[in-house]
A and B are shown apart, each in its own frame.
Chain A
Amino acid sequence: MKHLTLADEIVVLMLEDDSGQVHPACTPVATTAIAGGILMELALQGRIDTDLTSLFIIDKTPVGDALLDETLIEIAAEPTQQSSAWWIDTLATRHGDLIDRVLARLVTAGILREEERKFLWVFSRRAYPQVSGREEREAKGRIMSVLFNDEVPNPRDTLLLGLAKTAGILSTILSEEEVEKSAARVDEVVALEEIGRSVGLVARQVREAVTAIMMTPYP
């Protein structure tokens, strides 16, 4: 893996250090965040562009990453131009295995290990502890840098912050006081990128739908 894509980075950030599992707070929107990360990476690599209403291909040349290139083909095959929010929702819905695919590639790249762990003494489930933790520390460091200095943020870090906010992991990176202190800056930076706004919108809709289901009483 040449470098971690935004989709890779948000998965690393969503994993709990202790359990090697996706943080429960992230689970409902994990696939949404990954779909957003894929589109963000394609935008940064000059393959797609967006405006207030549409997402469109500007260069069909493969980037050399299977996940990104498959998505590029999928976008090219869609006969009608759609918004970035539509694509985030559609990719997350069509590809429920996105998190498994990203976990697998992170294991192949030597960033995560795959382990079988017992829970409740009997049941087994896969855990994905980090090999060194360096990638997580680096991503967290970039997020902290965006939040706590007044530099104009670079596009990659702006988009990463958008994913972190969407996934609900800022409260795991920051103290309560830091969350409060940085709230305005988070909103200001995330709003700069159209795909960042869209992934936040889709994630809110997913969370609302999950909440509605949980609140529906059993007959």
Chain B
Amino acid sequence: MEITSKIDGDLSVLLLGGRIDAASSASLDHAVNAAIGGGIRHLVLDMSQVGYVSSAGLRSILLAAKNAKAAGGGVAVFGLQASVAEVFNVSGFGKIIPIAADDAEARRKLVG
């Protein structure tokens, strides 16, 4: 999985590319931990380039939300492709992690 980040104060937008599954979730964990360790509190996950998320991938995203919340912030996602949106809907992830239409809405959901 490719991960690039754009930092804006204590918010970072992570552009994720490819699959989020058991093989790639460690990369996501590392990127999130590095961001939070570097003072980031709010994480926006741009999922527009993600075509597949497995249960291990979801666990990684949930862990990101847990750690961001512990740091006084949170995680929001946007750009879900249809198949990924279905996974989020079935698992009710939207109740834990805000799902936004775009970057701007994701930021609003996190920081108001």
The answer to whether A binds B is yes
Say whether A192 contacts B62, CB under 8 Å: yes
B16 to chain A, nearest CB (A): 17
Say whether B55 contacts A194, CB under 8 Å: yes
Q: Which of A43, A46, A51, A191 has the most CB of B within 10 A?
A: A51
Q: A52-B86, A52-B87 are in contact. Are A155 and B69 (CB under 8 A)?
A: no
B-contact bits for A37-72, CB 8 A (1 contact / 0 none):
000000100100111100000110000000000000
Say whether A192 contacts B63, CB under 8 Å: no
Compute how far the CA of A192 lies from the CA of B94 in the bound complex, rounded to whole angstroms: 10
Say whether A152 contacts B66, CB under 8 Å: yes
Q: A152-B69, A155-B63 are in contact. Are A49 and B55 (CB under 8 A)?
A: yes
Say whether A50 contacts B66, CB under 8 Å: no
Find chain B residues with CB under 8 A from A50 CB. 54-55
Compute how far the CA of A188 lies from the CA of B96 in the bound complex, rounded to whole angstroms: 9
| A154 (CB) vs chain B CBs: closest residue | B66
Compute how far the CA of A43 lies from the CA of B25 in the bound complex, rounded to whole angstroms: 13
Q: Of A51, A58, A151, which contacts B69 at CB under 8 A? A: A151
Say whether B91 contacts A192, CB under 8 Å: yes
Compute how far the CA of A151 lies from the CA of B53 in the bound complex, rounded to whole angstroms: 23
Q: Of B52, B86, B96, which contacts A192 at CB under 8 A? A: B96
Q: A151-B66, A152-B66 are in contact. Are A49 and B87 (CB under 8 A)?
A: no
Q: How many residues of B contact A (CB 8 A)?
A: 23
Find chain B residues with CB under 8 A from A52 CB. 86-87, 90
Compute how far the CA of A57 lies from the CA of B45 in the bound complex, rounded to whole angstroms: 27
| A192 (CB) vs chain B CBs: closest residue | B91
A114 CB within 8 Å of chain B: no
A195 CB within 8 Å of chain B: yes
A193 CB within 8 Å of chain B: yes
Interface residues of B in 31-60 (CB under 8 A from A): 52-56, 58-59
B53 to chain A, nearest CB (A): 8
Find chain A residues with CB under 8 A from B21 CB. 49, 58
Interface residues of A (CB under 8 A from B): 43, 46, 49-52, 58-59, 151-155, 188, 191-195, 197
